Amino acid sequence: MNENQRIIEEYQRNGISKEVYEFGSKIEEKLKERFCYFDKIAEINQMKVIAAMQKHRVSAECFHAANGYGYNDLGRDTLEAVYAECFRGEDALVRPQITCGTHALALALMSNLRPGDELLSPVGKPYDTLEEVIGIRPSKGSLAEYNIHYRQVDLLPDGNFDFEGIKNAINEKTKMVTIQRSKGYATRPTLSVDKIGELIKFIKGIKKDVICMVDNCYGEFVEEKEPLEAGADLIVGSLIKNPGGGLAPIGGYIAGKEEYVKQASYRLTSPGLGKEVGASLGVIQSFYQGLFLAPTVVNSALKGAVFAANIYETLGFDVIPNSTESRHDIIQAVTFHKKEPMIAFCQGIQAAAPVDSYVTPEPWAMPGYDSDVIMAAGAFVQGSSIELSADGPVKPPYSVYFQGGLTWYHAKLGILMSLQKLYEQNLVNRELMC
């Protein structure tokens, strides 16, 4: 028996029919060139990470679990130097005490803005959780409560920057600009590092000393360059997304200009103490090892995203980004326009998970949402969205946001399983699979 028959047999044993597998194989065959491109990006980024670890002399001693105040925590200080090097910043703050991406972003904003200052988002509405940080939705402890104002310039209908509007919005109070790289759960395009560079250049041309911060969530290692290389002053992200490589159990980072990173450290710990305290406890080895794996983990997630886009586009569903667009983050949206296929999709992702595969996700009224939400995640780290996961509000247009996959083979199995569920319930046009 040849390898191919063995694989088909193994997929069948795991619940994937021959028809679904063979359709998937045809799609995969057409993606060779794109996968090859992703592999090259991962190869470059892998070397970047290794070189940074070597330059800063990462050693076994760095993995010791420091406790107490954490003065001279070698593991923590070295890791921050490694992050700064990787992302081409002067300095970095990488801590388990930063609980998530939202916290990291709030920290960067609250530490660098002062009462009376203005914050500008030139790329439209920021990620949902930032609305309460900024005070777009009234909220306790928001920037608005500290008399820090916010302005927003939406993207033009064609997705481009509204340069005229941005120019008009910048004034003597504008202290900081926040640019979200990933589209998050909006339908605008994700920004490439080059496009971010263009925008920053324009803004600095109007006001040289404005602090340009990039929300880098879901963007790390997708391209060979990061936003600091395109002129950003600060980049901010979550370790339970891309740079944690699936191993970091918690954490966030802020990297960039030393002055602004230091400000964040004084807010995270205390004025006067800054980066000098904050023991890394027992998690630091997973931060190193996760960063080491991150380029290949992101590579797997990208392959999964493009595979899903091509499968579902071929079957007649709307996908964002589409099957051929270049990628600048790891999120894939699929719009089903009907409830049943959306639910079947999520149930397939769940059924293929290494953890909690036996539970069946159902729509539920999650706090803070105006409709039922369905979520599929069988993750080693709770809420980790660099692991294969899918979710979406169960209301028209019935879009699922799908991301992650620590290995390409798991992402592939998850997507095939999602299709299997649709196939079994007669929710796809089988003629399009031939």
Ligand X SMILES: *Cc1c(COP(=O)(O)O)cnc(C)c1O
Residues 212 and 73: their CA atoms lie apart, in Å, by: 30
Residue 244 contacts ligand X per CB under 6 A: no
Closest CA to 280 of 103, 65, 99: 65
Backbone phi and psi for residue 235, each to the nearest 5 degrees, phi listed first: -125, 150
DSSP conformation class of 319: E
Burial class (CB in 10 A: 0-12, 13-18, 19+), 375: middle
CB of 68 to ligand X, least distance (A): 27
Of these, 182, 280, 286, 335, which contacts ligand X (CB under 6 A)? 182
**CA distances from residue 122 to 110, 149, 181, 213, 270 in whole angstroms, order as listed:** 19, 14, 12, 11, 31
| Burial of 44 per CB tally in 10 Å (0-12, 13-18, 19+) | middle
**Counts for the chain of helices (H) and strands (E), in that order:** 12, 12
* For ligand X, the closer CB: 215 or 226: 215
Residue 347 sits in the site that holds ligand X (CB under 6 A): no
d(CA 399, CA 341): 10
**φ, ψ at 227 (rounded to 5°):** -60, -25
Residue 364 has what DSSP assignment?
B
Site for ligand X contains 121 (CB under 6 A): no
Rule CB under 6 A: is residue 378 a binding residue for ligand X? no
127 sits near ligand X (criterion: CB under 6 A):
yes
Site residues for ligand X, window 291-330 (CB under 6 A)?
none
Residues numbered 186 to 225 that lie near ligand X (CB under 6 A) are 215, 217-218
Q: Toward ligand X, which CB reaches closer, 70 or 246?
A: 246
Region for 18 from its dihedrals, namely left if φ exceeds 0, alpha if ψ lies in -120 to 50, beta otherwise: alpha
**What is the nearest approach in angstroms of ligand X to the Cβ of residue 99?**
8
In angstroms, give the least distance from the CB of 183 to ligand X.
8
Q: Residue 178 CB, nearest distance to ligand X (Å)?
A: 10
Which CB atom, from 49 or from 130, has the smaller least distance to ligand X?
130
Is the CB of 94 or the CB of 422 nearer to ligand X? 94
Give me 302's structure tokens.
């990208």
Residue closer to ligand X by CB (options 174, 389) is: 389
* List of E strands, 117-273: 118-121, 149-152, 174-180, 211-215, 234-238, 252-256
184 binds ligand X (CB under 6 A): yes
CB of 241 to ligand X, least distance (A): 6
Q: Give the nearest distance from C-beta 217 to ligand X in angstroms.
A: 3
> What does the angle CA 247 – CA 414 – CA 370 come to, to the nearest 5 degrees?
85
- C-beta of 70 vs 101, nearer to ligand X: 101
CB 104 within 8 A of CB 252: yes
Q: Which is nearer to ligand X, 193 or 422 (CB)?
A: 193
Q: How far is the CB of 154 from ligand X (least distance, A)?
A: 17
180 binds ligand X (CB under 6 A): yes
As measured in angstroms, the least distance from the Cβ of 100 to ligand X is: 3
Q: Find the shortest distance in angstroms from Cβ 179 to ligand X.
A: 11
Q: Residue 391 interacts with ligand X (CB under 6 A)? A: no
Which pair of tokens denotes residue 247?
């191993």
Which of 16, 92, 100, 302 is in the footprint of ligand X by CB under 6 A? 100
Stretch that binds ligand X, among 55-63, 99-107, 293-301, 361-369 (CB under 6 A): 99-107
Q: Binding of ligand X at residue 387 (CB under 6 A)?
A: no
Burial of 407 (0-12, 13-18, 19+ CB in 10 A): middle
- Only one of the segments 176-184, 257-265, 266-274, 282-290 lies at the binding site for ligand X (rule: CB under 6 A); that segment is 176-184
In the bound state with ligand X, the residue whose beta carbon lies nearer, of 85 and 387, is: 387
C-alpha dihedral sign at 67, 72, 73, 77: positive
Q: Which of 367, 349, 350, 368 lies closest to 359 in space, CA to CA?
A: 350
Residue number with CB closer to ligand X (190 or 265): 190
Q: State yes or no: residue 129 binds ligand X (CB under 6 A).
A: yes
Give 179 or 309: the residue with its C-beta nearer to ligand X. Answer: 179
Binding segment for ligand X (CB under 6 A), chosen from 79-87, 177-185, 308-316, 332-340, is 177-185
Total of residues contacting ligand X (CB under 6 A): 12
| DSSP strand pairing (118-121 vs 318-320) | unpaired
253 belongs to the binding site for ligand X (CB under 6 A): no
Residue type, 393: P
Residues that bind ligand X (CB under 6 A): 100-102, 127, 129, 180, 182, 184, 215, 217-218, 238
